[in-house]
Amino acid sequence: MNLAALNEIAEKMVTPGKGILAADESSGTIKKRFDAIGVESTETNRRDYRELLFRSTEAMQKYISGVILYEETLYQDAADGTPLVKLIAEAGAVPGIKVDKGTKPLPGFPGETITEGLDGLPERLAKDYERGARFAKWRAVIDIAAGIPTAGAVKANAHALARYARICQEAQIVPIVEPEVLMDGSHDIARCDEVTRFVLQTVFAELFEQRVALEGIVLKPNMVVCGKKCETRATIDECAHRTIAALKATVPSSVPGIAYLSGGQSDEEATAHLNAMNKIGGFPWKMTFSYGRALQAAPQKAWAGRPENVAAAQRAFTHRARMNALASLGKWEDSLETALAA
C-alpha cells in the first residue's frame, strides 16, 4: 500500500470549491428516475444521459472533483467510442466505482439490513483499477425506528465497511466510507444526533481494528437532520451546529475530508445545509458534497430523453454543481439560485 499516493487522491477528491458527483445509481434506481421523466431505461439512454453530464465541460472542470460510477458506466463507451471513464479523467476529475452489492435483511435483526459485496472484491478492484477507477464507494444503511438501530446491526455494518476499506487500500484504491443514517422516519434531530454519533464511533473503532489508514479515506456521512415525518422541524443553523459537533466528537482529524450525502433532501436544502456548516468553520477536515439526486434532478428533468435538450440539461447540471461548490466554501446565498441560474 502506497499511503502517500492514496492520500494524494483523497485530497484531490475534497479539493476546496469542488465536490463529488454520485452517478452510481443501480439499474433499479435509474429506472425509477427515468420513469419520472418518461424515458425508457435502456443501456443506450443511460449512456447518453451520463455522457451529457461528463461532457458538461464547465461543471466537470470547475466544480466536480470525482465521479462515482456504477459498474455498467465504468466499462461503457460514449457514442463516439471514447470510454466514459476517460471523459471524466480528461476533465480533471477522479473516476470511482460503487462496489457494494446492496443491502439484504440481517438475520436475527428484524427491520435491519447488512450490505453485501465482500466476496471477490479484491479481484473486482484489480480489474476496476486497470480500467481507471481510483476510488470506491460502499454504503452501509442504518435506519431509525422503534427499537432500532441495535448495537449488533451497527457493529456488523461497521465491520463490513472496515473490511471493504482495507481491501480497497491494498488495491491502491481510496475507499469512500459511507455509513448513512436514514432520514426516512419520524425521529427528531436529537435522536438522529445520538444515532449518528454512535454509528460513527463504531465505524472508526472498526476501521482501527482493520488497520485502515485514515489519511487514505474519504468519509461520506449523513447530516444530522430530523426524520422526514418529524412534525417539529429543526432549523438549518441547528442542523449545521449539531452535525459539526457530532463529527468533531467522533471523526479523527487525520481524515482528509468529509463529503456529505444529501439523503433525500431537496436540491436547495442540501446546498443550504452544506453552506451553513462551512460558514461556521472551525473543523479540521475539508467539507464538501457527494450528491446524486440533489445534483441530477434538475438536469434529468431538463433532458427528458431528447437530444435537443442536452445543452439545457448541461446548463442545469452546471448550475447545481456551481451552487454546491459555493456552499462547500460557505459562499452560497439563497439569492444566488436565481441570480446565477443559467
Split into its structural domains, the chain has a count of 1
Which stretches in the chain have pLDDT values below 50? 342
pLDDT at residue 339 in the model: 59
Contact call for residues 113 and 77 (beta carbons, < 8 A): no
Over residues 33-51, the pLDDT tens digits come to 999 999 999 999 999 999 9
Catalytic residue among 18, 137, 220, 286: 220
Active site residue 178: yes
pLDDT on residue 333: 86
**C-alpha cell read off for 257:** 475530508
The answer to whether residue 333 is catalytic is no
Cβ–Cβ < 8 Å for 274, 281: no
Record the cell numbers describing residue 12, joined without a space: 484531490
CB 203 within 8 A of CB 239: no
Q: Which CATH number covers residue 43?
A: 3.20.20.70
Cell representation of residue 44:
443506450
Catalytic residue among 25, 51, 71, 178: 178
pLDDT tens-digit readout, 284-340: 999 999 999 999 999 999 999 999 999 999 999 999 999 999 999 999 987 667 655
**Model pLDDT, residue 177:** 98
Q: Are strands 113-115 and 103-105 parallel, antiparallel or unpaired?
A: antiparallel
Cis peptide bond N-terminal to 149, omega within 30: yes
Domain boundaries, position 172: 3-339
- Residues 73-110 as b/e (b if ≥16 CB within 10 A, e otherwise) read bbbbebeeeebbbebbbebebbbbbbbbeeeeebeebe
- Tracing cell 439569492 back to the chain, one arrives at 335
Four-CA torsion 33, 35, 40, 43, nearest 10 degrees: 20
The Cα 246–Cα 193 span in angstroms is: 7
Which of helix, strand or coil describes residue 223?
coil
